[in-house]
């Protein structure tokens, strides 16, 4: 039976950072693009809300600026607290933004608005129900509509519906971390805090400041068979009673919403990046940093690479191979290096030793802050093929012209 010609070059399932990055770059390359998402924007998205230097530079390249975001809290100081209570204060450079906290509700809404302004069709409130791939492309049923496309990019998160439809035997959606988040008001400290509690390692507690005395407060731990939602909630109640976290939140802090838990898919080597004319990006590709749980920069990067792979043309197999090679080259070494560090930091003694080294001198504090916030690739020091002049001291994003 003959198949109809594709009506769009690219259909993107998911309008988060990975999906919108895909759509924007593809549209700029002259491809016809349609984005579908089950949500209606703005909508809340459970996340730590932190944007690293790497994420900020990619957003700037896509044309999304800090002024486009309704809530932004630039960060200039990070405080690390070790298992023994030792504090190390890390200054971030002042040449542009190297870390910003903004809610995902505001970030994703701004991205969707920017995509529409760039000519991308975004269909909200529709779910992907069926995917039928063949030699000529892919037919996707979503809601009451059907779209025929040359390629489908799955940017639909760690519970990827597209993955379950095209690769039902894959188990990469389980996630390797569990995270827990709650918003607080009455938190007056503008610094960003990371607390390494001995019983959570290599996980940690975070307090990420937001404007108006608000903060995103939460923790992340490695997934294990006994880590249920009930266990996470009990752990959260215990953490809120600990003096270390209470001293950071201050006496006026109070929760403003219910706590929420979610899995973090740091499963790069286990996750599938493509299946025929389907490319997986962002959380659906398991490209979250296994040491920090950061995933926005990686989501943007994979979306950009997917769009470029499709725009370069060629048969389906060649496009998929180009994308897989691009992701492995751009992210593989850094994610594997981060996984090695994560395993080392499961020991309280090694974590204490690492923080002692970080705090040795102003130089170590300053450069660890840059490394921590993805100012340059995780494994840059060990990959000399990426060394360039200024590679270890790049400027921040959104610099004010002088």
- 380 located within any domain: no
Report whether the peptide linkage leading into residue 42 is cis, meaning its omega lies within 30 degrees of zero.
yes
- 357 located within any domain: no
- For residue range 336-355, list pLDDT tens digits in order: 999 999 999 999 999 999 99
The winner for highest mean pLDDT among 43-52, 229-238, 304-313 is 304-313
Q: Over 70: is that where the pLDDT of 174 sits?
A: no
Number of Cβ within 10 Å of residue 348's Cβ equals: 16
CB neighbour class for 293 (10 Å; exposed up to 12, middle 13-18, buried from 19): buried
- 58 located within any domain: yes
- 63 located within any domain: yes
Average pLDDT over residues 30-48: 95
Identify the residue whose tokens are 């039902």: 168
- Of residues 84 and 390, more confidently modeled: 84
What pLDDT is attached to residue 1? 38
Q: Over 90: is that where the pLDDT of 282 sits?
A: yes
What pLDDT is attached to residue 267? 86
Residues 6+ apart with CB under 8 A from 227: 178, 221
In percent, the amount of the chain with pLDDT more than 90 equals 77
CA distances (Å), origin 215, targets 23, 117, 170, 261: 31, 31, 36, 16
Number of Cβ within 10 Å of residue 264's Cβ equals: 26
Average pLDDT over residues 16-30: 98
- 248 located within any domain: no
Average pLDDT over residues 396-401: 67
Rounded-to-integer distance, Cα 297 and Cα 151, Å: 23
Average pLDDT over residues 124-153: 96
What pLDDT is attached to residue 172? 56
The winner for highest mean pLDDT among 19-23, 47-51, 155-159, 392-396 is 19-23
User: The domain spanning residue 275 has which CATH number?
Assistant: 3.50.50.60
Q: In 3D, which of 168, 138, 193, 186 has the Cα closest to residue 11? A: 138
Domain extent, residue 169, equals 8-72+98-174+266-344
Q: β-pairing, 145-154 with 50-52?
A: unpaired
What pLDDT is attached to residue 400? 53
What pLDDT is attached to residue 70? 86
Q: Over 50: is that where the pLDDT of 2 sits?
A: no
CB neighbour class for 379 (10 Å; exposed up to 12, middle 13-18, buried from 19): middle
- 328 located within any domain: yes
- For residue range 295-344, list pLDDT tens digits in order: 999 999 999 999 999 999 999 999 999 999 999 999 999 999 999 999 99
Q: Over 70: is that where the pLDDT of 191 sits?
A: yes
163: left (phi over 0), alpha (psi -120 to 50) or beta: alpha
Identify the residue whose tokens are 């994610």: 335
What pLDDT is attached to residue 401? 46
What pLDDT is attached to residue 3? 57
- Of residues 269 and 212, more confidently modeled: 212
Q: CA 174, 175, 177, 182 torsion: positive or negative?
A: negative
Rounded-to-integer distance, Cα 191 and Cα 347, Å: 26
Q: How confident is the model at residue 92 (pLDDT cuts 50, 70, 90)?
A: very high
Q: Over 50: is that where the pLDDT of 358 sits?
A: yes
Q: How confident is the model at residue 283 (pLDDT cuts 50, 70, 90)?
A: very high
Distance of CA 346 to the CA centre of its chain: 22
- 206 located within any domain: no
What pLDDT is attached to residue 175? 63
What pLDDT is attached to residue 398? 76
What pLDDT is attached to residue 402? 36
Q: How confident is the model at residue 219 (pLDDT cuts 50, 70, 90)?
A: very high
Rounded-to-integer distance, Cα 140 and Cα 77, Å: 47
What pLDDT is attached to residue 396? 80
- 169 located within any domain: yes
What pLDDT is attached to residue 5? 60
Q: CA 198, 199, 201, 204 torsion: positive or negative?
A: negative
CB neighbour class for 367 (10 Å; exposed up to 12, middle 13-18, buried from 19): middle
Rounded-to-integer distance, Cα 255 and Cα 49, Å: 17
- For residue range 386-396, list pLDDT tens digits in order: 888 888 888 88
Q: β-pairing, 274-275 with 278-280?
A: antiparallel
Q: How confident is the model at residue 245 (pLDDT cuts 50, 70, 90)?
A: very high
Q: In 3D, which of 155, 128, 106, 105 has the Cα closest to residue 287? A: 155
Q: Into how many domains does the chain fold? A: 1
């Amino acid at each position: 039976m003959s198949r109809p010609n594709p009506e769009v070059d690219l259909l993107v399932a998911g309008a988060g950072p990975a999906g919108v990055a895909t759509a924007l770059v593809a549209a700029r390359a002259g491809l016809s693009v349609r984005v579908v998402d089950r949500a209606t924007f703005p909508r809340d998205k459970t996340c730590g809300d932190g944007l690293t230097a790497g994420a900020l530079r990619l957003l700037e390249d896509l044309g999304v600026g800090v002024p486009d975001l309704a809530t932004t809290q630039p960060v200039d100081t990070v405080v690390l607290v070790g298992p023994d209570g030792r504090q190390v204060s890390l200054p971030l450079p002042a040449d542009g933004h190297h870390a910003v906290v903004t809610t995902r509700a505001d970030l994703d809404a701004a991205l969707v608005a920017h995509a529409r302004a760039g000519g991308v069709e975004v269909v909200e409130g529709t779910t992907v129900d069926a995917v039928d791939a063949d030699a000529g492309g892919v037919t996707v049923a979503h809601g009451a509509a059907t779209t025929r496309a040359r390629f489908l990019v799955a940017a639909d998160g760690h519970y990827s519906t597209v993955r379950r439809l095209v690769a039902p035997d894959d188990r990469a959606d389980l996630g390797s971390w569990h995270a827990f988040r709650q918003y607080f008001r009455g938190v007056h400290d503008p610094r960003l805090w990371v607390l390494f509690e001995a019983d959570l390692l290599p996980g940690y507690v975070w307090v990420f400041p937001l404007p108006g005395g608000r903060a995103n407060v939460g923790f992340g731990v490695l997934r294990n068979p006994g880590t249920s939602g009930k266990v996470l909630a009990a752990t959260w109640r215990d953490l809120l009673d600990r003096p270390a976290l209470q001293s950071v939140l201050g006496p006026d802090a109070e929760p403003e919403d219910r706590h929420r838990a979610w899995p973090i898919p740091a499963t790069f080597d286990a996750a599938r990046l493509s299946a025929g004319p389907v490319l997986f990006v962002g959380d659906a590709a398991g490209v979250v940093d296994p040491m920090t749980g950061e995933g926005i920069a990686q989501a943007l990067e994979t979306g950009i690479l997917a769009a470029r792979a499709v725009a370069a043309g060629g048969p389906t197999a060649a496009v998929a191979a180009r994308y897989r090679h691009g992701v492995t080259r751009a992210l593989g070494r850094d994610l594997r290096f981060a996984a090695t560090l994560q395993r080392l930091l499961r020991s309280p003694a090694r974590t204490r030793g690492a923080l002692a080294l970080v705090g040795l001198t102003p130089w170590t504090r300053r450069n660890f802050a840059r490394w921590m916030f993805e100012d340059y690739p995780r494994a840059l020091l060990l990959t000399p093929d990426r060394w360039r002049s200024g590679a270890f001291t790049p400027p921040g994003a959104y610099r004010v012209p002088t």
